[in-house]
Chain A
Amino acid sequence: MQDEEQKPYIEGPMHSTTPMIDPGLTFASVTDKISSIVLKRKTSLAWFFGFAISFALFQLMLLTMTNLVFVGIGLWGVNVPVAWGVAILNFVWWIGIGHAGTLISAILLLLRQRWRTSINRFAEAMTLFAVAQAGMYPIFHLGRPWLAYWLFPYPNTMGIWPQFRSPLMWDVFAVSTYATVSAMFWFVGLIPDFATLRDRARSKPFQMVYGLLAMGWRGSARHWHRYEMAYLLLAGLATPLVLSVHTIVSFDFAVGIIPGWHATIFPPYFVAGAIYAGFAMVLLLTIPLRRFYGLEGFITMRHMHNMAKVMLATGLIVGYGYMMEAFFGWYSGNKYERFMIWNRMHGPYHLYYWALILCNIVTPQFLWVKKIRSNLLLLWIISFVISIGMWLERFVIVVTSLHRDYLPSSWGMYQPTQWDWGMFIGSIGFFLTLLFLFIRFLPMISIFEMRTILPEAEVEE
């Protein structure tokens, strides 16, 4: 079957009738358009360029990690009192970004939000790659990273077990579970698309690989029935997982006793913040991608507006969190809590705090305005600012709380070193490397799910 001539999809301004998908698409054109990005023989030069830069940054990450393991954690800026610095906040930043993907795949599925369909595959991939970045930090921030496996409960010659009351142990289980379940969810979702690619592959090696991954999928109705059941159950499991994993990450701080950490608002505050940061990252990535690959027919202005609205909503929750922190810092009457809030606003790191308020509370307010939401460049800039803002939020929480706590004699300062930054920028490079590989070799939009939302998919009685 020849690839049908596809009329280019012209975008109009956002309107209540803006469709969720280009009305001119058919089963055949949906399949061909998405699979052709993957199956074409020649890789574009732009892809190589982007991949090369990402890969170079990935090498930077490997270099910093190796040096760290051989020389010591002292290469970073951590000290006493600030024993956790940029590395741990990067961990939280990356995991937070991952949560948007699961929200889009799982929670929006359960809420029957069909607009999730064109972005969920990409968002889940983003989740997996973000969790991969996050997962490295708890290992490399250890003083003795070669012993990281001691955090797993296995019978050993010392006869000892890990200490399960520690939030770091909860992290081990939560992040591993999250990574595993996300990976399974993503892979299960890919099986029918692997079958599509297998049947369409132009070279034998690719056909073999996709065929292997498709596991013999043939679109049997009985299989689809169980498949949909499994998918729904996984979505139902992934939903509490999103909430619990970032809650457990927030417990890394909330279980600590220092002012600024020991707060009950942390679980919902962190989860909302994670979704906030994650949607910002999804927007940051999809706005250029849809333009470059001509996917405006699949990821329409309706998607952009919906994502912007979710960002605004979660931004408001995060703003509420900041205000509550400030209010309770004062209202508690507790000297240490009051000082903690005062120190954030007036102490040595006050610029970070006010930048945070600007990035995370002031900036998303622009999203109330429809015209701004429709302007993709502005939306991209706002998403970028929010990503930075979320990084600053974790900086303020981790560093300013630690650097001045109970005894004034222990007050100190923290400054990240070039090795801290190197590993962070390197991890962004690794993330982008994985993303580039993903968009080259795997369908970035879920083909079979896109078919279900076409008008011709309706069964007439």
Chain B
Amino acid sequence: MFRTDPSIYDGRFANNGWLQELPRPLTKVTWDNVAVVSPNSAQQLVGKNDNGGAIKGREHYVPVVDIINPPGQTVQAPLWIMPGQPDGVITVHLGYGRRLAGRVGSGQIGFRAPNEIVGFDAYQIRTSFAPWYVPSVQVRRSTGDHLLATTQLHFNLEDPNFSTEPRDVVRSQTLEQFLHGERHAEDEKLPSLYPDFPYQNQAENAPNYAWGMAIDLNNCIGCNACTIACQSENNIPVVGKTEVVRSREMHWIRIDTYFKGFDPNNPHATNFMPVPCMHCENAPCEPVCPVHATVHSAEGLNDMVYNRCVGTKYCSNNCPYKVRRFNFFLYQDWSTPTYQLMRNPDVSVRSRGVMEKCTYCVQRIQNAKIQAELEDRKVHDGEIVTACQAVCPTETIVFGDTNDPNSRVSKLKRSERNYSLLDDLNTRPRTTYLSQLKNPNPEIKT
């Protein structure tokens, strides 16, 4: 089956670094396209039924296959094994394998071998008789393996060799269960020896905001628009394939894809979970920074102070959500003049050796607060829209003032579906999730 690529479409965006580095929703592959088959088909073709590359070493190598269409045209493609793919169907994405796509699209930068062709050209086996669906193609194992740059290596909620009980990360239940009163474990407010920091009465004449975010797992379709919006708003660099291979991508918000269930041939569901910085009240990243480079603001934000960071990376180690990103090299391009037009002037451009992460679009918050103060009023609910919120097609992300009981985010947080990710760590995140409610048709077999 031919499909347009989720990021670069039919190839027109191949020279766009942001889109090349955007992980594809289901495979999380970047800078490449793959041929997707089911575990059963893969077992027949190459003798294994999971991607396994992540287990074998740092680098994610996958086998290469030859795909031959009825007229006999051939193309070589890296094979990706995906739970949920129908048996006997191979899906390829168009748009890759371009030879003259420009500096980025032709693999001139960020690749190991200069002028390495990015991806494989699926158009080679596409005919006008069957532009979207070919009833039979021949697929056989070719020689060699291909190195893929993926941002996520594990798609199950646990290692199936260890246990079949999933981790309590994505909460979802059916409508029927919900109506019968079944609820997930409530967010415990775990006891603490320390008093809470107050967010009312912050200072004399202070407007007393306390920012928070709610993400509705019912709505997220995994389109990754939030990732790109964040990248454009916050001057996030593109790091290139070799760095993504080393797990150094810089996206501040990512979509985690999980396949529910542990039978690779029969996953129950696919869940998408956007993960930005949680801005925890008891942030584990803050007390371990030796230089006060990450501290908690009076309005509830976990502030990242770039100019104070010396780069110990302890905060990244201590973040259980792994939302922090480090500038291992000077990823930003200081020299190309056109980039000055691309960048958002409200956000600093980070240099080598500093940590960065989601800031709840603090520049937008500050702009709105300044405007409100000029107009002698409080910020209205909905006036501050974070970049990810603004672009999300399904209104998954809602941001606002949790000190205001009537704000949209406060109402969502009062919902019975509201929960904190990894709540038993007592990090008390300000970004909470609304658990998923599914209403499956009993007549359709899952």
Contact = CB atoms under 8 A, between A and B. Distances in A.
Nearest to B422: A406
Contacts of B256: 407, 409
Interface in B405-422: 421-422
Contacts of A414: 58
Which of A72, A143, A148, A406 is most buried by chain B, counting CB atoms within 10 A of its CB?
A143
B288 interface: yes
A72 B326 contact: no
Contacts of B289: 163, 166
A252 B55 CA distance: 28
Give the interface SS of chain A, mostly helix, strand, loop or mixed: loop
Given A81-B317, A339-B162, A413-B247, 11 more contacts: A73-B311, A73-B328, A74-B248, A78-B313, A81-B322, A143-B327, A148-B310, A166-B287, A335-B165, A335-B167, A407-B321
A286 interface: no
A80 B321 CA distance: 11
Contact of B353 (A80, A144, A158, A165): A144
Give the one of B157, B291, B317, B321 with max A CB within 10 A.
B317
B231 interface: no
Interface in B313-327: 313-314, 316-318, 320-322, 324-327
Per CB-CB distance, the 6 closest pairs between chain A and chain B, nearest first, are A143-B311, A143-B353, A74-B328, A409-B256, A410-B322, A83-B313
A362 B324 CA distance: 40
30 contacts: A77-B58, A80-B248, A80-B322, A80-B325, A80-B326, A83-B326, A141-B312, A141-B313, A143-B310, A143-B326, A144-B311, A145-B310, A147-B310, A150-B308, A151-B310, A162-B292, A163-B289, A168-B288, A252-B314, A335-B163, A339-B163, A404-B159, A406-B167, A407-B256, A408-B155, A408-B156, A409-B257, A409-B258, A409-B275, A411-B54
Contacts of A404: 159
Interface residues of A, number: 57
Nearest to B321: A407
Contact of B291 (A162, A343, A411, A412): A162
B320 A413 contact: no
B328 A144 contact: no
Nearest to A411: B154
Per DSSP, chain B at the interface is: loop
B352 interface: yes
A348 interface: yes
Given A407-B320, A408-B167, A72 B291 contact: no
B139 interface: no
Interface centre among A83, A144, A404 (most CB of B within 10 A): A83
Contacts of B152: 409
A415 B328 CA distance: 15
Interface in A148-167: 148, 150-151, 158, 160-163, 165-167
Interface string A164-183: 01111100100000000000
Interface string A190-227: 00000000000000000000000000000000000000
Contacts of A148: 310
B291 A80 contact: no
Contact-residue size bin, chain B (C-beta under 8 Å from the other chain) = 35 or more
A257 B425 contact: yes
A255 interface: yes
Interface string B136-176: 00000000000000001111111101110101010000000
Contact of A72 (B321, B328, B421): B328
Contact of A258 (B162, B318, B328): B318
Interface in B235-290: 243, 246-248, 254, 256-258, 273, 275, 284, 287-290
B292 A413 contact: no
Contacts of A147: 310
B89 interface: no
Contacts of B157: 408
Contact of B329 (A72, A167, A256): A72
Interface string B279-309: 0000010011111100000000000000011
Given A142-B310, A413-B54, A160 B292 contact: yes
Contacts of B291: 150-151, 160, 162-163
A36 interface: no
A407 B156 CA distance: 10
Nearest to A252: B314
A143 B154 contact: no
B354 interface: yes
Nearest to B354: A143
Nearest to B250: A80
B114 interface: no
